[in-house]
């Protein structure tokens, strides 16, 4: 056992937390219930369509808000944004604006409320070449991902799992038209970036319930460039706690994770391994889905949240968290960068370029550490932090403005 003494307070280290969680993790994950997930998918499917321009889109957001409230998230909000659509396709043209709504339920962290872990999916749906008022049940795409987030949220409340970091469960709007205009996830990520919101990671579940086999299950993990920390964490949760074999696909992919990746937040897109042949048709219905597989997929997100938001049953003790204990400013940086290290230990820092070459490395002591960046060219870099508490990576943007 490692205990760090800080002003007579005992701090639980990350390793201690993981060891103690390990013994209970499977008990927590067994609470994930495929019938409960299925009921949510069925509700969303019953709307007939969740096309973002259809007149029912606000009532779906309100239903999701009520759903979160009914499982204990009284703080759930509709986070509205103006959606400007310019879309031209054979037989369908629209150029207008609508209000769209991300639905956000928050479980506030007891130790690091300003550090946020996000789990979510998108609730809008569409059918190819069929828009207003056409059947778009979207059971797999992506009622499954939304239902997964709701199920994890439900279990956290049910067994009184309390996180040290804040968890946000988000049903995102307007994903299906993201190629043409700003999606709900892009709206969220842009605002989070401009406000300096501290997002540890975003687990995006989009199409996680189609699997024709009764066993030998796989999942596709789309790992964006520079998202190795999240990939390693997800692979470890998947292999340790589920019956699913992870397939790692090292490439960027469109969807709600993309705008988070663009802003430098750690993210990963979870996807079924066998592509759903009913995608974007009136046959993407819950009857075609494999609910035990979907429940197993949901466990990956739950295990990651428990591990990374340091959730425990009951009250959190002071716990060390590498990510939450480091503050980098400014980012984007120009001539100098400052990192405040609030951990009780030294942290090794490496700055790498996009092809993984280490350009600078140093040790950060407790307190504020200044790094001179005058020799760096403008561009995107990756900073990796290593301590006894673990490893974390994040993006550093350097905008050289030398006089
Ligand atoms: Zn989708």
In the reported structure, the alpha carbon of residue 31 is separated from the centroid of ligand 1 by a whole-number distance in angstroms of 26
Domain chopping of the chain, boundaries = 13-313, 326-398
Mean pLDDT over each residue of the chain, to the nearest integer: 91
Cα of 179 from ligand 1 centre, angstroms? 12
Distance (angstroms) between ligand 1 centre and the Cα of 30 equals 27
- The Cα–Cα gap between 308 and 293 comes to 23
Q: What is the pLDDT of residue 242?
A: 96
Q: Domain 13-313: give its CATH superfamily.
A: Zn peptidases (3.40.630.10)
Q: Could you tell me the distance, in angstroms and rounded to a whole number, from the CA of residue 364 to the centre of ligand 1?
A: 41
Ligand 1 centroid vs 4 CA: distance in angstroms?
Answer: 45
Report the C-alpha gap between 137 and 189 in whole angstroms. 27
- Ligand 1 center from residue 130 Cα (angstroms): 16
- Ligand 1 centroid to Cα of residue 176, in Å, is 7
Cα distance between residue 398 and residue 381, in whole Å: 8
Per-residue pLDDT of 374-397, as tens digits, reads 999 999 899 999 998 888 988 899
pLDDT one-digit tens code per residue, 77-119: 999 999 988 777 776 777 889 999 999 999 999 999 999 999 9
DSSP 8-class letter at 216: S
Q: Is the pLDDT of residue 254 over 50?
A: yes
pLDDT at 244: 97
* 3-class DSSP state of 331: coil
pLDDT of residue 305 exceeding 70: yes
Q: What percent of the chain has pLDDT over 70?
A: 95
Q: Any residues with CB less than 8 A from the CB of 19 and at least 6 apart, and which?
A: none
Per-residue pLDDT for 180 more than 80?
A: no
Interior angle at CA 43, CA 42 and CA 49, nearest 5: 95
pLDDT value for 9: 54
- How far, in Å, from the CA of 192 to the mean position of ligand 1? 22
Residue 280 alpha carbon to ligand 1 centre in Å: 9
Cite the beta strand spans of 307-398 per DSSP E: 312-313, 326-329, 336-341, 347-352, 358-364, 367-372, 379-387, 390-398
Q: What pLDDT shows up at residue 119?
A: 98
CA distance 346 to 341: 8
Burial class (CB in 10 A: 0-12, 13-18, 19+), 167: buried
Which H helix or E strand runs over 246? strand 244-249
Task: Give me the pLDDT at residue 8, please.
Answer: 45
* CA 262–ligand 1 middle distance (angstroms): 18
257 alpha carbon – ligand 1 mean position (Å): 11
Q: What is the Å distance from ligand 1's center to 373 Cα?
A: 40
Question: Residue 19 is encoded by which pair of tokens?
Answer: 């060891």
Q: Is the dihedral of CA 310, 266, 153, 284 positive or negative?
A: negative
Centre of ligand 1 to C-alpha 206, Å, is: 5
Q: 389: which DSSP letter?
A: T
| For residue 132, pLDDT beyond 70 | no
Whether residue 224 has pLDDT greater than 90: no
CA of 247 from ligand 1 middle (Å) equals: 19
Q: What is the pLDDT of residues 1-43, one digit of tens each?
A: 334 444 445 678 877 877 888 889 999 999 999 999 999 999 9
- For residue 207, report the distance from its CA to the centre of ligand 1, in Å: 6
Distance (Å, rounded) from C-alpha 65 to C-alpha 77? Answer: 7
Give residue 126 CA to ligand 1 midpoint distance, Å.
9
- Overall fold of domain 326-398: Immunoglobulin-like (2.60.40)
Residue 341 has pLDDT above 70, yes or no: yes
Distance, CA 146 to ligand 1 centroid (Å)? 10
pLDDT in tens, 45-61: 999 999 998 889 999 99
């Amino acid at each position: 056992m490692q205990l760090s003494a800080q002003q007579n307070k005992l701090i639980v280290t990350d390793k201690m937390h993981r060891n103690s969680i390990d013994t209970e993790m499977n008990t927590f994950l067994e609470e994930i219930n495929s019938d409960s997930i299925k009921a949510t998918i069925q509700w969303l499917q019953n709307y007939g369509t969740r096309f973002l321009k259809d007149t029912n889109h606000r009532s779906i957001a309100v239903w999701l808000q009520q759903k979160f409230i009914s499982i204990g998230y009284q703080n759930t909000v509709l986070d509205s944004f103006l959606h400007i659509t310019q879309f031209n396709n054979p037989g369908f043209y629209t150029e207008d604006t609508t209000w769209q709504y991300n639905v956000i339920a928050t479980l506030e962290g007891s130790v690091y409320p300003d550090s946020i872990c996000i789990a979510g999916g998108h609730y809008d749906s569409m059918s190819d070449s069929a828009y207003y008022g056409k059947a778009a049940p979207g059971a797999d795409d992506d009622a499954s991902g939304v239902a997964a987030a709701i199920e994890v949220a439900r279990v956290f409340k049910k067994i009184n799992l309390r996180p040290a970091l804040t968890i946000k469960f988000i049903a995102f709007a307007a994903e299906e038209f993201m190629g043409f205009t700003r999606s709900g996830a892009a709206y969220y990520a842009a605002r989070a970036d401009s406000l300096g919101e501290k997002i540890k990671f975003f687990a995006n579940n989009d199409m996680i319930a189609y699997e024709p086999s009764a066993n030998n299950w796989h999942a596709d993990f789309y790992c964006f460039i520079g998202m190795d920390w999240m990939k390693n964490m997800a692979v470890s949760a998947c292999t340790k706690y589920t019956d699913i074999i992870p397939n790692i696909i090292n490439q960027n992919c469109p969807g709600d994770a993309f705008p988070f990746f663009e802003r430098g937040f750690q993210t990963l897109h979870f996807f079924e391994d066998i592509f759903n042949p009913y995608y974007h048709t009136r046959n993407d219905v819950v009857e075609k889905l494999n609910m035990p597989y979907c429940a197993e997929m949901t466990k990956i997100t739950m295990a990651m949240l428990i591990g990374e938001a340091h959730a425990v049953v009951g009250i959190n003790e002071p716990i060390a968290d590498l990510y939450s204990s480091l503050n980098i400013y400014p980012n984007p940086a120009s001539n100098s960068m400052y990192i405040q290290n609030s951990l009780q230990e030294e942290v090794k820092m490496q700055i790498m370029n996009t092809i993984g070459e280490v350009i600078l490395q140093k040790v950060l002591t407790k307190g504020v550490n200044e790094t001179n960046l005058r020799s760096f060219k403008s561009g995107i870099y990756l900073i990796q932090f290593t301590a006894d508490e673990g490893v974390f990576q994040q993006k550093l943007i350097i905008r050289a403005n030398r006089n």
